[in-house]
């Protein structure tokens, strides 16, 4: 079965190739769905859903059953796709950022403004962003509440993976979500990185978790 990948906002081509290689070494098929998010329509939920579904169909032209693996902002779009498509059988969400943050989590995120050494979910160059990234950030903020509502309606087997010291993840919300929904499991990586798939120390373990879940 093919696995469709929804990348995070800051994932560059080098990281994408690295992730593709991990899938191939694990014997898993891999197809990237989006290379950029800036052009997605924002003024109509119906048009946004249609644009996402068009990209998924392009990535799966034979309309076969697929799994989806998503990272960060890509989780928003992956969840919206899973809500609409009966072809998606399993879903892996790596470092999803939809949902509600606790007050403690919000305080930690605010503290990062004075601690530039902490990895940002939007990349180390997030303070110098071009027009496309600005538009992509708008897409992220627009789709976040949609994904928060959609995950309640998606009942396919879902694995959520996040790093325990990643302060950009609403961990309390995600853990409560998994407690309420029988279709959701959580795995926590002993890391602070926003994408453990791109980490020298944690990529193999993360890939093992994904492979075990998708088999």
CA distances, 21 to each of 24, 111, 132, 148, 207 (Å): 5, 35, 27, 31, 11
- Least trusted range by pLDDT, from 35-49, 90-104, 147-161, 196-210: 35-49
Q: Give the residues across from 159 on adjacent strands.
A: 92, 185
Is 3.40.1160.10 the CATH classification of the domain at 2-214? no
Q: How many helices (H) and strands (E) does the chain have?
A: 7, 6
Q: What is the pLDDT of residues 146-202, one digit of tens each?
A: 999 999 999 999 999 999 999 999 999 999 999 999 999 999 999 999 999 999 999
**Considering only CA atoms, which of 175, 178, 205 is closest in space to residue 190?**
205
Q: Tokens 């530039």 belong to which residue?
A: 116
Query: What is the side-by-side order of every strand in the sheet holding 88-94?
Result: 31-32, 2-6, 66-71, 88-94, 158-163, 184-189
Give the residue-averaged pLDDT of 79-86.
94
Considering the entire predicted model, what is its pTM?
0.92
Domain ranges of the chain: 2-214
């Amino acid at each position: 079965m093919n696995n469709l990948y929804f990348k995070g906002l800051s994932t560059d081509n080098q990281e994408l190739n690295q992730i593709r290689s991990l899938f191939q070494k694990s014997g898993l098929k891999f197809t990237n769905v989006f290379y950029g998010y800036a052009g997605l329509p924002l003024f109509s939920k119906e048009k946004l859903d249609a644009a996402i579904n068009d990209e998924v169909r392009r990535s799966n032209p034979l309309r076969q059953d697929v799994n989806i693996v998503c990272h960060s902002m890509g989780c928003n779009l992956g969840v919206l796709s899973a809500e609409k498509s009966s072809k998606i059988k399993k879903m892996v969400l790596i470092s999803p950022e939809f949902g509600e943050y606790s007050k403690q989590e919000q305080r930690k995120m605010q503290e990062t403004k004075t601690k530039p050494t902490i990895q940002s979910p939007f990349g180390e160059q997030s303070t110098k962003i071009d027009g496309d990234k600005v538009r992509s950030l708008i897409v992220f903020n627009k789709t976040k509440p949609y994904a928060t509502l959609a995950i309640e309606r998606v009942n396919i087997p879902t694995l959520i993976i996040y790093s325990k010291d990643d302060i950009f993840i609403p961990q309390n919300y995600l853990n409560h979500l998994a407690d309420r929904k029988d279709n959701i499991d959580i795995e926590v990586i002993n890391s602070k990185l926003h994408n453990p798939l791109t980490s020298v120390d944690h990529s193999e373990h993360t890939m093992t978790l994904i492979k075990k879940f998708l088999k």
